[in-house]
Amino acid sequence: MANYNHPGAVSAGVTGAISVLTCTNVDESGGHQVTDQPTGVAGGAESQAQPETVQHRRPAGDPRVGAADGTPPGSGDLTDELLRSDQWTDEMVRAAGIPVTDVPFVSVGGGIGSFVTVDYLRIAGVATDRIAVLSNLDFPWQTYEYLTRVSQIPRPERIRSDSASRPDNIWGFPSYAIAEAIGDRTLAPLWQVLIEPIWADYYTPKAGRVFAGLEREAKRIDFAKMLVKGQVRMVRRRQGGGYFTILTPMAGSAQTKRLAYRSEFVHVAVGYPGLKYLPELQDFRTAQQDFHHVVSAYEEHEHIYEAAKTKHLVVMLRGGGIVASRVLQRLMDDRERLGLSTEIVHLFRTYITSSHGPNAWNRRKGAHGFAYQGFNYPKSVWGGQLKSEMRRLEGQQRAEKYKLMGGTNTPFRRRWQAQMKDGRQGGWYRTMAGAVGEMRLDHGMIVSCVKTATGMVEVPADFVIDCTGLEADIAEHRVLADLLAHSGASRNPIGRLDVERDFELRGAGSGSGVMYASGAATLGGYFPGVDTFLGLQVAAQEIVDDLARRGFCRRIGPLRSTRQWLRWARNKQP
Amino acid sequence: MLPTLGGRIQTRLVLLAVVGGLVTLIIGPILPISAPLSVVYRDTFVILAAVAVLGIGWECVYHFLMQWRWEKDWPTLFGLLTAIPEGALIWLLLRAGAIPGIKGTVPFTAFLMDFGLVWLAVWLVANGPMRVPFIRWRFHGGRLV
């Protein structure tokens, strides 16, 4: 279970997502020279059945009609015919002049979701020349590291992840706690794991250790050999079976604007479609053109901590998840360490006062606004009772179970509790419950009009930090929107991509070809913890087992697993 | 651990049979029991079998208690501390002569060494090395089949 926050935290490249934050991420990810433009073809789910015909006739009112803006055949770019067709023939792609590369397995995304899946495949004996990872990221943890860093988890800090959730080690053994105990020559991590969570906080690894492990494993499995840099534009089914994945390569790296990858299997792990602001924050930013005083915790906002060092500030926090906790900790740490006078107003939309839940065996702890939980789901979703229960639920029942175990939450950490208690007693940390109606500028302060249970309250602050981490709809992501519109993919009970228990994308099969999806875009399926380190490994295991059943690779049995673990331990290639 | 009831029982039976059996074989000769080695092995393996059989009942109790935990997990230390009630019950049954197949008397020190080392070994394997050969085990609630 690994994640550092509400949106779980494990994100691939937010490739092609359309949001303010995404733009920031992409820039941070290395200033990609990709010149692709969104077409705006986001549509709902339809065409579940595999059509015989290549091209569908659309009714006049279909928003996709006329959306195609193709180029002439032979130009090496997407033609009208390709843009409009749900299924492509080899001839159509050839006529467009797009070079085709054959590779049996393509993973789209290139983040941690792609990485752990490819790691499993390599350990199952698949050679690097049978895998292509298409991504705009230079390395799998690039987006994750960016998001953790700006949301106040730099490398020396600890992420919200279990000791045995190791994306660089499919066995989870030795755990991060053992590795830290050996590396730092201390028994403290082992003792913490022994007595957690009753007598100590959950042990969680340092971000830096996680990244170092990923780097080692990426080298071990030759990840760079499988990586093809560029922006994935779409995945379409191929007539006769399999798929075409269209990549816009990095500027100057190819003769044509597009490259096509023809494969039997496709794995889509593109991370979060994008993050969005609370509507009133977005309205304020747009109206005032102020991107300085109202910020998201997921974008660079170091200037706030710097400003707090120079003068008295009032900072308003929005949200009750792990990111709010981390930002709060940073403000409180700076206050204590540097003797600052920063005041914090913490606004919760849903204010938790005590343990909550429908009955005695479904009760989560909570206090002072927060719901407390070690990780972003109850722990047993990753392998125990809840995982087993969820696997059997369908439709509304599943959606209700998600609702029961969902809700924003944060871990109970003793240090945070002590800091908040000091703040409450000192009067410089105040919590309140309510919804913000409007925001305005008044003498340089941002005034939030908060509707509380007792009436309207105006709260002035120098800065507002949005820690809610609202996620955009999956159709905001161009590749996912295209899958919904053209490849038979549909939505699950909570609106994300509908996948089978083995993470096959329902309705998107193509002859002998199979498309899989994992990560945040599949939340709402039979397995809840998809957007976490361990969740991605659960998905990878299901996918690789399914691929083994289909004859693509060997099933990892006890002997192979043990042999491969020994190779991992000696840092030898799989 | 994140066990299901079926996973708990399967894990217990397999680990006691394999790891427990191995430890019992190894420590048999050094246990302070004044009896031929064949009797020592007979008694210690009967105790091991008793831990396995009674353990099925214990696992049902633990599963019931786990329902009061929001996370539906079984913290690492619980897996170690449950040795106390289980060991105490086995010892009381031994003293009462209620475990069939025991020859002679098993001294308390010998029982403590036998039961403690077996339990410790099983607990250690369940909390790490088990995942090496069985990569699906932890995602399946401790089930092996």
Q: Is residue A370 part of a domain?
A: no
Could you say which residues from 223 to 252 on chain A have a Cβ atom under 8 Å away from some Cβ of chain B? none
A12 near A135, Cβ under 8 Å?
A: yes
Task: Say if B88 falls within a structural domain.
Answer: yes
Which of these, A337, A371, A341, lies nearest to A357 by C-alpha position? A371
Residues A239 and A163 in one domain: yes
Task: Let me know whether A439 and A533 are in one domain.
Answer: no
Specify the residue for token string 């928003």.
A63
A37 touches chain B (CB under 8 A): no
Low-confidence ranges of chain A (pLDDT < 50): 1-66
Contact status of B95 with chain A (Cβ, < 8 Å):
no
CA distance A497 to A508: 11
- Orientation of helix A142-150 relative to helix A207-220, angle to 10°: 170
Other residues' Cβ atoms within 10 Å of the Cβ of residue A394? 9
| A359 inside 8 A of chain B by CB | no
Same domain as A307, residue A215: no
Nearest CA in chain A to B8: A384
Q: Are residues A138 and A256 in the same domain?
A: yes
* Domain span including residue B61: 5-29+36-140
CB A395 within 8 A of CB A537: no
Picking from B87, B10, B92, B16, the residue whose alpha carbon sits closest to that of residue B48 is: B16
Structure tokens at A104: 């049996």
- For residue A559, the chain B residues in CB contact (below 8 A) are 133
Q: What is the CA radius of gyration of chain A?
A: 24
3-state secondary structure of A558: helix
CA-wise closest residue to A41 among A232, A234, A231: A234
Question: Closest Cα partner for A325 from A402, A397, A412, A243?
Answer: A412
Quote ipTM for the complex: 0.94
Q: End of a domain among A471, A505, A520?
A: A471
C-alpha to C-alpha distance for A89 and B107, rounded to whole angstroms: 79
DSSP-assigned states of every residue in A35-79: --------------S--SSSBPPPPTT-TTTTT-----TTSSS--
Quote the crossing angle between the two packed helices A176-184 and A188-195, to the nearest 10°.
150
Positive/negative CA dihedral, A374, A377, A380, A386: positive
A11 with A90, same domain: the answer is yes
- Give me the residue label for tokens 């979060």: A272
Residue B71 to residue A164, Cβ atoms within 8 A: no
What are the backbone angles phi and psi of residue A183, rounded to the nearest 5°?
-65, -40
Are residues A380 and B72, on separate chains, in Cβ contact within 8 Å?
yes
Q: Model pTM?
A: 0.88
Whether A573 is in a domain gets the answer yes
Instruction: Please check whether residues A262 and A283 belong to one and the same domain.
Output: no
CA dihedral for A208, A209, A212, A214, sign (positive or negative):
negative
Other C-beta atoms closer than 10 Å to the C-beta of A460 total: 15
By the CB < 8 Å criterion, does A384 face chain B? yes
Q: Counting Cβ atoms within 10 Å, is residue B128 exposed (0-12), middle (13-18) or buried (19+)?
A: middle
CA angle, A153 as apex, A386 and A26 as ends, to 5°? 95
Chain B: nearest CA to A508, how far in angstroms? 26
The answer as to whether B94 is a domain residue is yes
Q: Which residues pair with A432 in a beta bridge?
A: A347
Same domain as A440, residue A488:
no
Q: Do A228 and A314 reside in the same domain of the chain?
A: no
**In a domain? residue A456:** yes
Say how far apart CA A65 and CA A54 lie, in whole Å.
Answer: 16
Query: How many interchain CB pairs under 8 A, A with B?
Result: 93
The A residues from 7 to 36 touching B (CB cutoff 8 Å) are: none
Between strands A366-367 and A370-371, the pairing is antiparallel
Length of chain B: 145
Alpha-carbon distances of A207 from A89, A158, A325, A354, B134, rounded to whole Å: 45, 6, 16, 31, 27
Structural domain includes residue A138: yes
**Tokens for A2?**
């690994």
Do A343 and A240 reside in the same domain of the chain? no
Contact state of A172 with B138 under an 8 Å Cβ cutoff: yes
| Shortest distance, CA A88 to any CA of chain B (angstroms) | 38
Can you name the residues that pair with A515 across neighbouring β-strands? A266
Whether A238 and A87 have beta carbons less than 8 Å apart is answered as yes
- Class of residue B36 by CB neighbours under 10 A (exposed 0-12, middle 13-18, buried 19+): exposed
Domain of A116, CATH number, reads: 3.50.50.60
Q: Which residue has the tokens 């908060």?
A: A450
**Contact state of A364 with B70 under an 8 Å Cβ cutoff:** yes
Residues in chain A: 574
For A380, the closest of B71, B132, B135 (CB atoms) is B71
Angle (nearest 5°) at CA A221 between A217 and A225: 120
Beta-strand relationship, A343-348 and A445-452: unpaired
Interface test with B, best of A385, A404, A546, A554 (most B CBs within 10 A): A385
Q: Which of A270, A339, A290 has the alpha carbon at shortest distance from A446?
A: A290
Cβ <8 Å between A541 and B71: no
Assess if residue A15 is contained within a domain: yes
- CB within 8 Å: B2 and A559: no
Q: How many CB atoms lie within 10 A of CB A192?
A: 20
Q: How close B131 comes to chain A (CA, Å)? A: 6
User: Are residue A415 and residue A304 in the same domain, yes or no?
Assistant: yes
Closest residue in A to B69 (Cα) is: A361
Query: What DSSP assignment string belongs to A156-222?
Result: TSB-SB-TT--TT-TT--S-HHHHHHHHHT-SHHHHHHHHTTTTSPPP--BHHHHHHHHHHHHHHTT
Residue of B132, B136, B145 to mutate when probing chain A, most A C-beta within 10 A: B132
* Residue B130 Cα, gap to closest chain A Cα (Å): 9
Contact B39, B28 (CB under 8 A): no
Tell me how many domains chain A contains: 2
Q: How far apart are the first and last CA of chain A?
A: 25
* B145 found inside a domain: no
> What is the reported pLDDT for A68?
58
| Amino acid letter, residue A103 | V
Q: Is residue A227 part of a domain?
A: yes
A214 plus A281 within the same structural domain = no
**Edge-to-edge strand ranges of the sheet holding A463-466:** A294-296, A463-466, A314-318, A343-348, A429-433
Burial classification of residue A60, based on how many CB atoms lie within 10 Å of its CB (0-12 exposed, 13-18 middle, 19 or more buried): exposed
Strands A265-268 and A105-108: parallel
Residue with tokens 């969005």: A276
Neighbours of B85 (CB within 10 A): 11
Pairing of strands A435-442, A445-452: antiparallel
Nearest in space to A117 (alpha carbons), one of A557, A483, A537, A461: A537
For residue A366, being part of any structural domain is answered with: no
Q: Which residues of A touch B141 (CB under 8 A)?
A: 383-385, 387-388
Rounded Cα gap, residues A261 and A226, in angstroms: 13
| Residue A102 domain boundaries | 1-36+46-271+474-574
Are A300 and A262 found together in one domain?
no
Number of domains in chain B: 1
